[in-house]
Amino acid sequence: MAFPAFSATHIDHFQANPIYGDAASRVITPEDFRRARAEISGWQGYAPTPLFALPGLADSLEVAQLLYKHEGPRFGMGSFKALGAAYAGLRVLQTQLSEKLGRTVTLAEISNGSLATEARTITLCSATDGNHGRSLAWGARRFGAGCKIYIHAEVSQNRANAMRSLGAEVIRVNGNYDASVARARADATANGWFMVADTSWTGYTQPPLDVMAGYGLLADEVCRTMPTAPTHVFLQGGVGGLAAAVAAYLRQFWGDKTPRVIVVEPDLAPCLMASARAGCAATVAVTTETIMAGLSCGEPSKVAWDILSDLADDYLTIPDSIIAPAMRRLAQPQANDPLIEAGETGVAGLAAFIAAATQPTLRNALGITPDSRVLLIGTEGITDPAIYAAIMSETAP
Ligand SMILES: Cc1ncc(COP(=O)(O)O)c(C=O)c1O
């Protein structure tokens, strides 16, 4: 089977030389992951998301196994982000209410509503390109806190409406994602709101670490269902939180047998590859928005970078042109593969893998062989139905 959209496209590759130090358990600890798992898996509506095998596609791409963790159904929120912001928001409420009440408040007291009156006095705040804000709005409503969400100029109206319908006040900011983060930070400071960001910077690390601890649950679900470790994992990177959380969890779980970690970014926003090349966290200017809305970030998360610089083996950047073909490939499966409805950001890892598997030089550089067992994290389902429909009807915006 031919993959013309993928085999002819330019993919930039940087092979890092990670030291596999102790960041995987020092920056984010097994206890951080355990606590998040214990809490989130007790929430109403919790169910592990499916891990699909794609044997037809694996065959066509000449690898032994291709697994796709599909985060679309996660808590009815459309993406893996439901694991992060809601949990981190709950932890912020725990810290603030403990301080206010002069005693240690438990997560259960907040999540079961016994402190609803007190929680109502607290406002959680964040910037988002859609999914993180939706998760925070969902968590804030669930735990009874106020919620302010900042979005940038290009965030789709449907994504803004999804957050409003969960009770958040949504504020649109001129400029890009990084501009919306700056404005959210300034307004939070001025108004006494509490930032629950999915990115971190010097002096601001705890909520983003909790966000990442929440993401660890999806990696835990994968590890528990797989008898042996995959050989490769492709992880899409925005600020790097997802990639770092999954890479850290896999290393904690599988140790030296952990798969080769390949970070995938849009070529329009390659801040993690730029950091890898520079040997330190680096910023890139995002001048054009990528179709991979969740990955349109110019600055890595500090704590995520601390982990990725220690653990990530390779960095790839991909063009927007291979996203729609990857989404259609999942929606129109071949052989016995399942039909999967996935969003533009969610398929970035799949798109990169198909391109890598079909380009001999890259295939060789990444060590992809007929024995490879490849894990993909499909981080979102349909998060904007209008964009999804347009792409399926081949009139992509
Ligand atoms: C669907 C989806 N996948 C992946 C990512 C990347 O996550 P991170 O910014 O933590 O790298 C995002 C971020 O918003 C996202 O929405």
- DSSP string covering 115-176: THHHHTT-EEEEEESSHHHHHHHHHHHHHT-EEEEEE-TTS-HHHHHHHHTTT-EEEE-SS-
Domain covering 4-80+208-392, topology? Rossmann fold (3.40.50)
The pLDDT assigned to 1 comes to 64
Per annotation, catalytic residue among 129, 210, 314, 337: 129
Which token pair is 98? 């403990």
Domain covering 85-197, topology? Rossmann fold (3.40.50)
Q: Is 81 a catalytic residue?
A: yes
Please give the number of the atom of ligand 1 that sits closest to the Cα of 128: 14
- Phi and psi angles of residue 235, each rounded to the nearest 5 degrees, phi first: -125, 120
Q: Which of 246, 275, 278, 245 is nearest to 259 (CA)?
A: 246
Per annotation, catalytic residue among 69, 81, 148, 302: 81
pLDDT of residue 395 exceeding 70:
no
Distance 242 CA to ligand 1 centre (A): 6
Predicted confidence (pLDDT) per residue in 285-309, tens digit: 999 999 999 999 999 999 999 999 9
pLDDT of residue 397 exceeding 60:
no
Contact in structure between 342 and 206 (CB atoms under 8 Å): no
The pLDDT assigned to 245 comes to 98
pLDDT of residue 233 exceeding 60:
yes
**Strand, coil or helix: 346:** coil
Distance 236 CA to ligand 1 centre (A): 7
Please give the number of the atom of ligand 1 that sits closest to the Cα of 71: 1
Mean pLDDT of 381-385: 94
Q: How confident is the model at residue 113 (pLDDT cuts 50, 70, 90)?
A: confident
Distance 322 CA to ligand 1 centre (A): 18
Predicted confidence (pLDDT) per residue in 173-232, tens digit: 999 888 999 999 999 999 999 999 999 999 999 999 999 999 999 999 999 999 999 999
Q: Is 302 a catalytic residue?
A: no
Distance 81 CA to ligand 1 centre (A): 7
Q: Where along the chain do the CATH 3.40.50.1100 domains lie?
A: 4-80+208-392, 85-197
CA-based diameter of the chain, in Å? 65
Distance 54 CA to ligand 1 centre (A): 23
Which token pair is 126? 């964040």
Please give the number of the atom of ligand 1 that sits closest to the Cα of 211: 10
If residue 51 lies in a helix (H) or strand (E), which one and from where to where? strand 51-53
- Of 92-96, 154-158, 269-273, the one with minimum mean pLDDT is 154-158
Pocket of ligand 1 (CB under 6 A): 79, 81, 129, 131-132, 198, 236-243, 294-295, 297, 345-346, 379-380
First to last CA, the chain: 27
243 class by beta-carbon count within 10 Å (0-12 exposed, 13-18 middle, 19+ buried): buried
Q: How confident is the model at residue 337 (pLDDT cuts 50, 70, 90)?
A: very high
